[in-house]
Amino acid sequence: MSGWDEIVAGMVKAVQLILAGDPTLIQIASLSIAVSGTATLLGALIGIPAGAIISLKEFRGKSLVVQVVNTLTGLPPVVVGLILYLFLSSSGPLGFLRLLYTPQAMMLAQLLMIVPITASITISSVSSVDPDVREAAASLGATPLSEGLIVLNEARLGLLTSVVVGFGSAISEVGAIMMVGGNLLGYTRALTTAIVLLTNQGEFAEAIALGIVLLFLAFLVNTLLTLLRNRFAGASPYAASILTGTSAPRDP
């Protein structure tokens, strides 16, 4: 078959698998979403506050820290996978956790890759907030925490972008999760690692089918996050109360 035939066959196969509700496909796709979703969530919980603190605080060596974070966004997945493998292997410092070849190890690998990305975009977004806005918050008597939350609220589109980019990076990652997950069918096989395996076996149509499913899932999640981002682009009537922990004024 030519390349085009493989692609067309892959598309047909993808539709068939989806329509048939293929249990293996569902299991693989579910694992991908669960691992990448958890890694994205944890990545946001760590990366956004870390990026915000780096951006808002003045400290010695700040530009070096920013440079390091930005450099880490380009971490090669196989390097992350290798280091994590060495840490999690039975003779490694974290071997006692027995996480190697588990979905948790895959999540950890993705987390290590997402945190710098989320932090870097957060640093950039927070830094681009108008300094006058921050000064206005200070002039209103805001505590450093409220001031930070007001600035984060101003940078909210950038923060949501960091989550979208983080998820995109996680769901499409293959090298690291292959190394620490092991690609075990029914346990640690994700969409990307399955595609690699099928390609190696010459099962191009199935590989393309999974690729299309992967793209579809990424599109779906990104659409949801983009809708959320657009929703946040508008002013929330409760924005001030969310920021400051009190209730917002409503119509008398």
Partner 1 sequence: MPLLEMINLSKTYGAETVVKHIDLRLDRGKILALMGPNGSGKTTLLRLAALLTNPTEGKIIFDGTDTECSEDKRRALRRRMSVVFQEPALFNMSVEDNISVGLSVRGVNERGIRARVSEVLTQMELVDLRRRRARTLSGGEAQRVSVARALATKPELLLLDEPTASSDPRNASIIERVVTESNADTGMTVLIATHNPHQARRLASETAFLFEGEIVETGSTSKLLESPEDGRTAAYVSGKMA
Site residues (vs partner 1, CB under 8 A) = 130, 132-133, 135-143, 146, 150, 153-154, 234-241, 243-250, 252
Identity of the residue, 11 or 240, whose beta carbon is nearer to partner 1 in the bound complex: 240
In the bound state with partner 1, the residue whose beta carbon lies nearer, of 5 and 130, is 130
Closest approach of partner 1 to the CB of residue 145, in Å: 10
Q: Minimum distance between the CB of residue 93 and partner 1, rounded to whole angstroms?
A: 41
Cα–Cα distance, 191 to 112 (Å, whole number) = 19
Q: Given the complex with partner 1, which of 91 and 247 has the nearer CB atom?
A: 247
58 or 74, CB closer to partner 1? 58
CA distance 252 to 125: 36
Shortest approach of partner 1 to residue 143 CB, angstroms?
7
Query: Residue 191 contacts by C-beta under 8 Å, 6 or more apart in sequence?
Result: 28, 29, 32, 171, 210, 211, 213, 214, 217
Beta carbons within 10 angstroms of residue 109's beta carbon: 28
Residue with Cβ nearer partner 1 (82 or 133): 133
Give the shortest CB-134-to-partner 1 separation in angstroms.
9
Distance CA 170, CA 225 (A): 15
Report, in Å, the least distance between residue 129 CB and partner 1: 9
| Residue among 106 and 137 whose Cβ is closer to partner 1 | 137
Taking residue 214's Cβ as centre, other Cβ atoms within 10 Å add up to: 21
Q: Are the CB atoms for 185 and 133 separated by under 8 Å? A: no
Q: How far is the CB of 165 from partner 1 (least distance, A)?
A: 21
> What is the distance between the alpha carbons of residues 155 and 132, in angstroms, rounded to a whole number?
14
User: How many other C-beta atoms are found inside a 10 Å radius of the C-beta of residue 138?
Assistant: 14
